[in-house]
Structure 1
Amino acid sequence: MAKVKIGISGNIKEMPADSGWIYDAVPRGLSDCVKEAGGLPIVIPVSDPALAKDYVEMIDKLILSGGQNVDPSFYGEEKSIDSDDYHLERDEFELALIREALKQHKPIFAVCRGMQLVNVALGGTLNQAVTKHWQSYEDLTSHSLEVKPDSTVSRFFKDGNSVNSYHRQSVKDLAPGLEVTARDPRDGTIEAVEGKDGHAIIGFQWHPEFLIGHCEQHRSFFQYLVNQF
């Protein structure tokens, strides 16, 4: 039986810093999660948006990985913060991936920045700066979840389950094609979304790939993602 092919959007990283050597980078945890669940991970490098159709045609499902802030021009705002943590080329390409995945009816799982970008692609906006949502790297988790009953997310996570937090932006106005299925009870930050109107979309604001080795619930979620979603 052929393995389910999961495309994972890649970031662009210069390693070592200031070396001029550019790599296509994906968190190893995402590809490991897919492999452990029986899927075949395929890294999709940042490319010309015209190639998005071809990339999406060759996969069964799409994972949008985390990374930089989303350029506010895509949701009709000017930059209001002092930050250079943006990558316009990546935004343009991944927005094309999202459009193609929706057009080709390929499920999308979006992580952190990925969830924010899906919200923007479907007509939502972002808070350009949030505080108290970037935890120490030494800590495994930093806050709990408040989960909507009878959602897909509630099949794996319950009220009080702990997750991590590594984001400096967040969803502000929710896109009409999405519904909120988990929040941070501390301040109401949207932590998970799911697609409406037949769109197979799940987004997590946290990074499940950093918790897979410590949490059976996350391993079960990736089994669902690869084999049922």
Structure 2
Amino acid sequence: MTARPLIGISTYAEPEVSWGAWRLDAALLPAGYPRLVQRAGGLAAMLPPDAPEHAAATVARLDGLVIAGGPDVEPVHYGAEPDPRTGPPDRARDAWELALIKAALAQGVPLLGICRGMQLLNVALGGTLTQHIDGHATAPGTFTHHSIKPVPGTLYAAASPAQISVPTHHHQSVDRLGKDLSPSAHAEDGTVEAIELPPPTWTLGIQWHPEMSNDLSIMRSLVGSIRGQSCRWDGTGGRDGTP
């Protein structure tokens, strides 16, 4: 039986969360993220914020990495002043996830950025963000849908070649692309909805939320890229038994 690849997913860290009789600090992740990984054939591991210096060792024990959605990236990371509509920063999460992304890129670990994760991928590679756009989010806590069109010949188009409607909730977007990134899907209003790096490593950022749909195409592509590299976590300290 083919080993199920171990895929880490970044998480929220929230103070004083209530469940049952308890009110405690918690590491949180919407269940759609691990379910997406599991349904596509992977093992899901939550990665709550940690010291950035531990990112490289963490990534070395993974077969793939997902940077989940969440709050706005603090504009200081791309040399901008905060727009009045930009949300409050989560500095611990920014630092941790940027370190995870840089470690994954350095180690050649397949990487998927979702919503905030796509924006962080762009920022990690020197790109910038537009701090507010209209039409891609409705009321807080709800998703809207719009169509996205793949760019032919891209990694994303190979995984999902048709124009589709996707669940979305974001008010920021990619502005200047980071080093070596190219757009691989657009919304009907021209907003960049997916970005990617050229081969050999599977690296993709998407602006929408596949964990809120039944579309497994992107996660299956990620899992397939891992299996194509014969990478697996075997319990000995790293991918393919490397320390």
Q: TM-score, normalised by structure 1?
A: 0.89
Query: What is the RMSD of the two structures over their aligned residues, measured on CA atoms?
Result: 2.2
Where in structure 1 do 4 or more consecutive aligned residues deviate above 4 Å? Answer: 136-141
Distance 1:122 1:25, change over 3 A: same
Query: Could you say which residue in structure 2 is the equivalent of 1:114?
Result: 117
Q: Distance in 2 between matches of 1:149 and 1:50?
A: 38
Alignment partner for residue 201 of structure 1, among 200, 203, 224?
203
In structure 2, give the amino acid aligned to 1:90.
R
Q: CA deviation at 1:225?
A: 1.4
Query: Could you say which residue in structure 1 is the equivalent of 2:194?
Result: 192
Count of equivalent residues? 222
Alignment partner for residue 156 of structure 2, among 140, 153, 174?
153
Instruction: Indicate whether 1:34 and 2:37 are aligned.
Output: yes
Query: Could you say which residue in structure 2 is the equivalent of 1:72?
Result: 75
In structure 2, give the amino acid aligned to 1:113.
R
Query: Could you say which residue in structure 1 is the equivalent of 2:220?
Result: 223
Q: CA deviation at 1:199?
A: 4.3
Distance 1:197 1:34, change over 3 A: closer
Q: Distance in 2 between matches of 1:45 and 1:220?
A: 26
Secondary structure of the structure 2 residue equivalent to 1:13: strand
Alignment partner for residue 135 of structure 1, among 138, 143, 166?
138
In structure 1, give the amino acid aligned to 2:191.
T
Q: CA deviation at 1:8?
A: 0.5
Q: Distance in 1 between matches of 2:192 and 2:67?
A: 17
Deviates more, 1:99-108 or 1:110-119: 99-108
Q: Distance in 2 between matches of 1:141 and 1:132?
A: 9
Q: CA deviation at 1:2?
A: 2.9
Q: CA deviation at 1:102?
A: 1.0
Query: Could you say which residue in structure 2 is the equivalent of 1:215?
Result: none
Q: For the Cα contact (< 8 Å) 1:126–1:169, is it kept in 2?
A: yes
Q: Distance in 1 between matches of 2:87 and 2:163?
A: 35
Q: For the Cα contact (< 8 Å) 1:140–1:211, is it kept in 2?
A: no
Distance 1:228 1:89, change over 3 A: same
Q: Distance in 2 between matches of 1:52 and 1:2?
A: 24
Q: Distance in 2 between matches of 1:89 and 1:138?
A: 23
Percent identity of equivalent pairs? 36
